[in-house]
Structure formats: structure tokens, C-alpha cells
Amino acid sequence: IEIEKKLPKALEHGEFELYFQPKGNISSTPSLAGLEVLLRWNDPDQGMVPPMEFIPVAEENGFIIRLGEWVLRESCRLAKRWQDEGYPKVTISVNVSAVQFRHPQFIDVVENALRDSGLEPGYLELEVTETMLNDPVVIKEKLERLRSQGIKISIDDFGTGYSSIHYLKTLPIDILKIDKSFVQETPLSEQDSTLLVSIIQLGKSFGLTVLAEGVESKSQLEFLAGSGCDLIQGYYYSRPLNRAAMEQMFKDSM
């Protein structure tokens, strides 16, 4: 059967699983700054199905509303539980789909997830993409309401959408996540390196925290450290981890 028909059952049967990719403060030995939640579907027939295969389908048929709510609730619940168990307190970032963000109940869903879990809003970060910012009036109100409660907002995959510097100026944003495509050929490609430095400076000039995605090597880390980047994410620091591996990393960092 098609993916579309299997998704609701998959949720009922507990086939979705959260993975976590650590974010590190930049230094020669990065320290744990936060983690991004990455959804996985463990389908009994096909094994692990990557999000790129089921999230677009879920966005198209609207199932992303329920799935996204589940991810938010589970993420907040687990983050609070980790804090209660004495693990280091770090922010947890959840990806938000455009369909989810546009939904009239989105703010309520976020508020309920926070309230029911008991997680302080300052530990929740929402990752939105540039393409979602095309509707600046509506978006601005929603972002401001979330932000006024202490929730952090990051722009994901920055540089790949219809980026407008105007958004950086007018929207309440905390973190710029530079897309991995700008990092991958750095520092070998002089052009990409120059571009990367420019984007970091752009973010810093707006007072934002700047994170580089897709960091895979020591030379990339060193280049970014020398360019004023604040945070890194990528295989060099850590791959996405399942819950047990994430808890082990917490322990190692204490």
C-alpha cells in the first residue's frame, strides 16, 4: 500500500521514533549546546524510512498536523524528563513544516505541549524555513507570540530559499542556521568560503546566533571558528543519535 494510507496506523502503532542531532558550541573540542529532533519512521515492511520520503506526503494530505503535534509533545516531554533526570539542560529544536505553522491552532498546540510537559519555553526552539516567511504579516504575528513566551526561533537551511535580508530585519528571529551546501566545499573552494564568511557576518550584524550545518571535517570547524560562527552541527561533531545514544552522549559530557 501507499505511504499515505500507512501513516495514521504507523502513528497508532508507535512506529515513529525521535532521533537527536547534537549542536556544539564552536571550539577545538565543541561542547553540547543543544539538539535537533529528527523524525524517523521505522516501518515493519520497509525498515527505516527517511523523512524526505514521508514528510512531503504527510504535508500534502494534512497528516503532518497530527504527526507534527506528536513530535512537539514527545520532544517537550522527553526534554523535561532529561532535565529531571539531571542531564545537562540544553535547548531542544523541533522542525516545523509550513503546513503546520499556517494552521490556526498552531500556537495552542505549542502552548499545550509546553504546559503538559512542564518544560520551560526557553528550552524550546522552533526551526522554520525561509520559504515559510513569504507571508510576512501573518508570520510576524505568530512568531512574535511564540517569542514573547521565551520560545527561540531559528531559520533553517538559510541561503537556499528565496532569502530576503528584509526578513532578518523585520522578523523576530534568534538563530540563523546556514545550509550545509555553503559548508561542504569550504575551505577548499575560495568562492564558497567567501560566501560562508559573508553569511556569518550578515547574521552577526543582525545580532543573531549563527550555526553552520553539515560540518564534516576539522578544517571546516577551524575555518568557521576563525570566521565568528557560534555553533556547529554535522557529522564531525555527531551524527543523529537514537535516544540511548543521546543519553550516553549526555553522560560523557558531564
- Smallest separation, CB 4 to Mn ion (Å): 25
Q: Which is nearer to Mn ion, 129 or 227 (CB)?
A: 129
Q: Report in angstroms how near the CB of residue 157 gets to Mn ion at its nearest.
A: 4
Beta bridge pairs of residue 177: 211
- What mask of x and - would describe binding to Mn ion in positions 179 to 218, judged by CB under 5 A? ----------------------------------x-----
Q: Tell me, what DSSP letter sits at residue 120?
A: -
* Site track 35-74 with ligand G (rule: CB under 6 A), x = hit: ---xx----------xxx--x------------x--x---
Q: Which does 220 bind (CB under 5 to 8 A by kind): ligand G, Na ion, Mn ion, none?
A: none
**Window 75 to 134, contacts with ligand G (CB under 6 A):** 95, 97
Q: Is the separation of the CB atoms in 125 and 34 below 8 Å?
A: yes
DSSP assignment string, 122-190: GGEEEEEEGGGGGSHHHHHHHHHHHHHTT-EEEEEEETSS---HHHHHHS---EEEE-GGGTTTTTT-H
Hey, how many other C-beta atoms are within 10 angstroms of the C-beta on 84? Answer: 9
Burial 175-206 (b: 16+ CB within 10 A, else e): bbbbbbebbbebbeeeebbebbbebbebbbee
Applying CB under 5 A, does 36 fall inside the site for Mn ion? Answer: no
Phi, psi of 138 (to 5 degrees): -60, -45
Name which of residues 108 to 167 contact Mn ion (CB under 5 A): 156-157
The least CB distance from residue 68 to ligand G, in Å, is: 6
Q: Which does 34 bind (CB under 5 to 8 A by kind): Mn ion, Na ion, ligand G, none?
A: none
Q: Smaller CB distance to ligand G: residue 43 or 156?
A: 156
Q: Which is nearer to ligand G, 135 or 170 (CB)?
A: 135
Q: Do residues 172 and 206 lie in contact, with contact meaning Cβ atoms separated by under 8 Å? A: no
Residues that bind ligand G in the complex, under the rule CB under 6 A: 21, 38-39, 50-52, 55, 68, 71, 95, 97, 156-157, 180, 213-216, 234-235, 240
Residues that bind Mn ion in the complex, under the rule CB under 5 A: 156-157, 213
